[in-house]
Chains A and B, each alone.
Chain A
Amino acid sequence: MTKEQPLVELIFDRLNDDHDVPSETAEVILAALSSDDDLAAALDGQTTELATQQAAAGPPAHLYLDSVTVAGFRGIGPERKLAIEPGPGLTLVVGRNGSGKSSFAEAIELTLTGDSARWAARTSVWRTGWRNLHAPHPCAITVELRVDGQATPIRVRRSWPDGGDLADAQATVTGGDGADSLERLGLARPLELYRPFLSAAELGKLVNGTPSELFDALYAILGLESLIAADRRLREAIRPLETSIKETRERRGTLHAELDGIDDERAKRAAPVLAEPQPKLDQFDLDQLDAILAEPLDAVADADVDVDVARCRQLAQLPLPQPESVAALAEQLVAACAEVRRYDESRSQASMRTAELLRLSLEHHAEQGDGPCPVCTVGVLDQAWRERGTAALNELRVSTLNAKRATEKRAELAQRVRALIGGIDVPEAAPDGVPLTELQAAVAALRAVPSAPDELAAHLAAHYPAVARAAEVARTGAEEWLRQRDSGWQQAADELRAWLTAVRELPDQQRDLAILKAARKWLSKAGDEIRNARLAPFAEHAQQIWQQLRQESNVDLGGMTLTGSHTRRKVVFPVSVDGADSGTVALGVMSQGEMHALGLATFLPRGCAAESPFRFIVIDDPVQSMDPSKVDGLARVLAELARERQVIVFTHDSRLPEAARRLEIDADVREVLRAEESVVTLRPSLDPVRRYLDDAWAVAKSTEVPEDVRGPVVAELCRCALEAASQRIIWRTQVGRGVPHAEIEAAIGAASRRLTTFFALAFFDDADRGGEVLGRLKNRYGGWAADAYQACRKGVHGAYVGALPALVNDTRRLTEKLT
């Protein structure tokens, strides 16, 4: 499974092939992989969006490191650029501790990840010492990445303002098709996943980190986060269902106890239904409970109780108008009576008669015309009289009408007052403790209404307040009586009703729960299988690397697996010592060097994952505490990787380059030197013999070096060239004889830096034959060779007086003959 198939598709195919999975479960599994909303919709039986997660802008094609330029950062003062051939191959950057080589490695990582926080948190040394002491400004790092098939490199630059903190970096990204950030380039996530940087700290994680950290680091590259997310969604959906079901179940017991304790006939009938737990909650006689709850509160079988309840209920709800509105009514009646008195009844009769007389007279005048008054016979009925008479008649008619209306209004109001008084319906009796007598007395007094409307208004105003007060007292008493009798049942009925609703939802909830649990189980099993299938190539690669690194170690590494979940997740390395399976305990018996190698074996496959867009991997100091044979193994592993990857290794000694030379591995070796004031120089590291000779030549021809100083320095460099040449012969001879690395090293060490001994070993494979070296040189190569050899030995102590360029040339000639 080298090419990653989208996880959702993979799961879909598996679900399709698995005929034991019901379709609802399959639906839920796919929905859980998609989103929270989809999961909710799937459980509701609605259609799901199943929006497949769009991978953020696909990471670009293969990326190679082109160069890193550093100024004012860590050990690097003035700006220096480390350019690397942007393609597969092995680059070794060699420099002593403190030479600034790790600064380059750190600069690359910091610039690409931009994770200053993590860096700042590392150590106090880091927090305070990230800026170069000698040349703190300008402080900037530029990393150029070469995208496969693109002419313009991507430049990622981070610079720090003068006096700024590590976190104040200003980042700029240019050249990536207009994308101005690593996120836009789609690199942020891959950087997190594959981390193409292996620092000593990273490797130490295996030893010092928690098991779950290692698990997470490996799990992330398997591209299975959506599985974790799906599992989380399912868990989150399961939790409230389980809680709800559990609560409903437990509520039965408490509800039963509650009902049992209520002195109410309905509660007594409801309680036994809930007495026993039922395996399925819907097996309770829910209909009976419904029926009990549906009974109207008043319709109770017990008649005695019922009458009391009815009376109290009547009292509690006694429909009495507010005293204020009653007072207003009384006032209206008083006003109406006054109005009626204005049109005094007797005056009213007289004016009616006058009106009648006037009307008849006007009719008479209309028929007979002007003439003497038929009533008094004195006056004259003429046109003038007619006008006055018509006006008087109209006036009389209006006042008569008003009098009639006032009388009607008074009658109506009096009627309303009587109805009000008559409408007050007080029960004849009430249960003990409900104060009714006062109310009855007040009502009786009110009912003794006078017949005269004037008196009626005064009567109402005088007696109604007493009724209202007494009714309030009686109502309070009645309510209290009802509450006392009713409290238990009323509340319990509400609770019972809620519980019934919950119980009715149970079958759905239980169905959902079952589906969710089945989905989770299926997904977990499928996830384990996919996970270990995906891990397999990494595990295999790790095993291969370990096989090469272990060399003489008696510890064998099996295929690692990821086990457990949540807080118990860990990576298991089946390890055997001397062929005996020791489980994971063997991690403890491994040496520092072996743990280091195991760290490399574990993390190199991640950095070189097939899916990673990064074709480069930066490894900082992988050689520490490795014994020489492991260094050879490491060189082979790196050479293997370098066939397809750009492998950049920073190392503090020349063991790795030496191993590469011995194993004839093509490597671009650079040397980092740091002079005082943090002046760093980078130069290609030639094979050491050539390096010494080139340096010797440079000094010999240099006009800057005072003449008196040149001699010993040139002689020393020439001697070093001869030493390097002879040591190479010693290695070649002894490796050919099958001598273990450690012994060869010991033999060279024992030669105690004496040129004679080295040559004795090189010529005769015998350290004790130093006396024969000069003769051999003379015989085999000629006198010049012996002279050059002697000049190198003695000249370092200031004794050489010959021409220096000639010495360098002769030495070069000798080394060529030797090797």
Chain B
Amino acid sequence: MTGQQVTPERWLTVADRMLSGSGGLGAAAVAGGWWPRACACLIRLALEAGIEAYWQRVNPAVVACTRGRTRLLLLRARNGPGLAVARRAAYAWATLSQATHHRGYETVPAATELRHLHTEVTSLLDTLQRCGVGLSSPYRR
């Protein structure tokens, strides 16, 4: 499963290159016009992977038996990283999810929105990583 081996950072790096239009990838993405959805997809993958990594550290049982959306919702649980972080993650996920599904009246997200989401997810992943270290030791096994 190649996808599983990709780290969240890798998704974010590629998304950034597309978003800024830098390098061959960025230029191709911007010229082809498919960068907005691809970016949204990669940022969302990064967020999902980050949350999975968090549960992997904190409580692997969550990863084993729940779906992506449930893992996200469980961030609100008492042993999660805190309500504020859970809310931010939920908001980012919802926005990205909206951008990566076809919806009649929505057009693709603008570069600024994607940049905002990219920054937000980067910061969220960082937070989750630190939370995972600090708070989760009792559950680790």
- CB-CB under 8 A for A99 and B11, given A654-B105, A717-B34, A720-B101: no
Do residues B25 and A704 form an inter-chain contact, with CB atoms below 8 A? yes
Cα distance A698–B37 in the bound complex, in angstroms: 13
Q: Which residues of chain A are within 8 angstroms of B20 by Cβ–Cβ distance? A: 675-677
Q: CA of A683 to CA of B35 in the docked complex: distance in angstroms?
A: 13
CB closest chain-A residue, reference B40: A716
Taking A676-B21, A695-B34, A705-B25 as contacts, is the C-beta distance between A654 and B104 under 8 angstroms?
yes
- Residues of B with C-beta under 8 A to A61: none
Within 8 A of B (CB), among A706-720: 706-709, 711-713, 716-717, 719-720
The yes or no answer to A465 lying at the interface (CB within 8 A) is: no
The one of A95, A706, A720 that contacts B25, using a Cβ cutoff of 8 Å: A706
A702 touches B28 (CB 8 A): yes
A671 to B37, CA, bound (A): 14
CB-CB under 8 A for A800 and B3, given A675-B35, A676-B21, A753-B98: yes
Contacts of B4 in A (CB 8 A): 798-799
Q: Is the CB of B38 within 8 A of A706?
A: no
Residues of A within 8 Å of B11, CB to CB, are: 709
Q: Report the bound CA distance from A676 to B23 in whole Å.
A: 14
Q: Does A34 contact B (CB under 8 A)?
A: no
* Chain B nearest CB, measured from A592 CB (Å): 18
Counting CB contacts under 8 A, is A729 at the interface? no
Residue of A655, A683, A713, A717 near B105 (CB, 8 A) is: A655
Known: A673-B36, A799-B1. A704 touches B24 (CB 8 A): yes
Chain A contacts for B104, CB-based, 8 A: 654-655, 658, 727, 731, 745, 748
Instruction: Indicate whether B53 reaches chain A with its CB closer than 8 angstroms.
Output: no
A677/B21 in contact, CB under 8 A: yes
B102 touches A723 (CB 8 A): yes
**Is there a chain B Cβ closer than 8 Å to A365's Cβ?**
no
B100 at interface by CB-CB < 8 Å? yes
Contact segment of B75-83, B108-116, B124-132: B108-116
Task: Give the docked Cα–Cα distance between A707 and B10 (Å).
Answer: 12
Give Cα A724 to B68, complex, Å: 23
When C-beta atoms are compared, the residue in chain B nearest to A711 turns out to be B3
A211 to B85, CA, bound (A): 53
B121 sits at the interface (CB 8 A): no
Digitize B20-44: 1 where CB-to-A-CB distance is under 8 Å, 0 elsewhere: 1101110111111111111001100
B30, B34, B35, B103: most-surrounded residue (chain A CB, <10 A): B34
- Residues of B close to A688: CB separation below 8 A: 102
Q: Mark B86-124, 1 if CB is under 8 A from A, else 0.
A: 000000000001101111111111111101000000000
In the complex, A654→B107 CA distance in Å? 6
Contact between chains at A675 and B19 (CB < 8 Å): yes
Bound together, the chains give a CA A671 to CA B110 distance in angstroms of: 12
> What total of A-B pairs shows CB separation below 8 Å?
144
The answer to whether the Cβ of A653 comes within 8 Å of any Cβ in the partner chain is yes
From A675, A683, A692, A709, give the contact of B111 (CB < 8 A): A675
Q: Let me know if A717 and B101 touch, CB within 8 A.
A: no
Contact at A698–B32, with CB atoms within 8 Å? yes
CB distance from B11 to the nearest CB of A (A): 7
Which residues of the other chain, A, contact B113 by a CB distance below 8 angstroms?
A: 96
In the complex, residue of chain A having the shortest beta-carbon distance to the beta carbon of B14 = A709
- B-chain residues with CB within 8 Å of residue A674 when the two chains form the complex: 110-111
| Residue-wise interface mask of A (671-695) relative to B, using a CB-CB cutoff of 8 A (1 in contact, 0 not) | 1011111010101000010001001
Most buried by B among A94, A675, A716, A727: A675
Tell me the chain A residues, 633-652 only, with Cβ under 8 Å from chain B: 652
Output the residue of A674, A679, A713, A720 with the most chain B CB within 10 A. Answer: A713
Residues of A contacting B35 with CB < 8 Å? 673, 675
Question: When A675-B111, A681-B31 are in contact, do A711 and B2 touch as well, CB less than 8 Å?
Answer: yes
**Are B111 and A797 in contact, with the CB atoms below 8 A?**
no
CB < 8 Å neighbour of A679 from B28, B30, B102: B30
Assuming the contacts A674-B110, A683-B33, A705-B25, asked whether A801 and B115 have C-beta atoms less than 8 A apart, the reply is no
Q: Pull 6 A–B residue pairs with CB atoms less than 8 Å apart, ordered by A.
A: A98-B112, A676-B19, A679-B21, A704-B29, A713-B38, A713-B41
Interface residues of A (CB under 8 A from B): 94-99, 652-655, 658, 671, 673-677, 679, 681, 683, 688, 692, 695, 698-699, 702, 704-709, 711-713, 716-717, 719-721, 723-724, 727, 731, 745, 748, 753, 796-801
Q: Which 7 A-B pairs have the closest CB atoms?
A: A798-B3, A723-B102, A695-B34, A704-B28, A753-B101, A720-B102, A724-B102
